[in-house]
Amino acid sequence: MALTGAVPPMPADPALIDDLVAANRILYNEGVVDGFGHVSVRHDRSPERFLLARSMAPGLVTAADIMQFGLDGEPIEPQGRTPYLERFIHSEIYKAQPAVQAIVHSHSPAVIPFGVAAGAALRPIYHMSSFLGTGVPVFEIRDAGGPATDMLIRNPALGAALAKSLGDAAVGLLRGHGNVVVGGSLREVVFRAVYTEVNARLQPGRRERPPKPIAASMAARGTCGKRGRWAPGVEPRAADSWPQGRLPLLPPMRVRGTAQRSRRLAGRCKRLGDSPRVVPTLA
């Protein structure tokens, strides 16, 4: 049952809302999201609710744009604001995994080929991405929605299928679409989303010498190998510049034109041994 108009919104900690705004800005600054993508956090006073901005470009989000949602994915007192179409990514993962406190969905460009190139698994190749060591499943929407979807998670059934595919992994890929990242806090999920993209940029390496990923035993003990468990000192360093809206650990990525990005995407797919044409057409 939709919660719209049925119950009033419950005030969230203003500091949590400020952190959610900062998370949107950081993810935009680091090139993980552009005009699309979204980040949410579970409500601090009610685990049956979560906070997510209205449908808008993440880099422009302010505190006034933050909305509350129930686990049915419906907004609580939307006040005329339009929610993201793919909010069911968030609602169904929160419903399925009580330990998850924050979620990022993005189309971060370097990650896309790993969801479409046959035999190319996204694996951790350095310590900052050790959380990938638990495995990165690939969600095939055609298995849940049939052969003619628009590839968007636009209803609870598709969200539930994605949550099931994700399982206990920290990161899951949506074939031909993007990725979803989960964490035990906003700061952790932003960290993971940024370093998932960085790892993907680094992983292809030289064609004649594919990189050797770090061992699973090392990944489990890495910088952030388990959900909600940071290595000592990592979270404070990653969050030093949180109020300024960017991570201090790497320079911002350059925003490139669509045509140039498409050429780079095709090149990465070829290096991974496949072609982006394996993505089903939407016509």
What percent helix, strand, coil does the chain show, rounded to 5?
A: 40, 15, 50
Closest of 12, 9, 261 to residue 112, by C-alpha: 261
The vertex-128 CA angle with 264 and 47, nearest 5°, equals 100
The Cα–Cα gap between 6 and 115 comes to 40
CB 31 within 8 A of CB 253: yes
Distances (CA, A) of 125 to 177, 181, 207, 216: 23, 18, 15, 11
User: What is the gyration radius of the CA atoms in the chain, in angstroms?
Assistant: 18
Residue 97 identity (one-letter amino acid): Q
Tokens of 48: 């049956």
- Is 86 marked active-site? yes
The Cα–Cα gap between 72 and 16 comes to 22
The one catalytic residue in 30, 74, 86, 188 is: 86
Q: Which residues have a catalytic role annotated?
A: 86
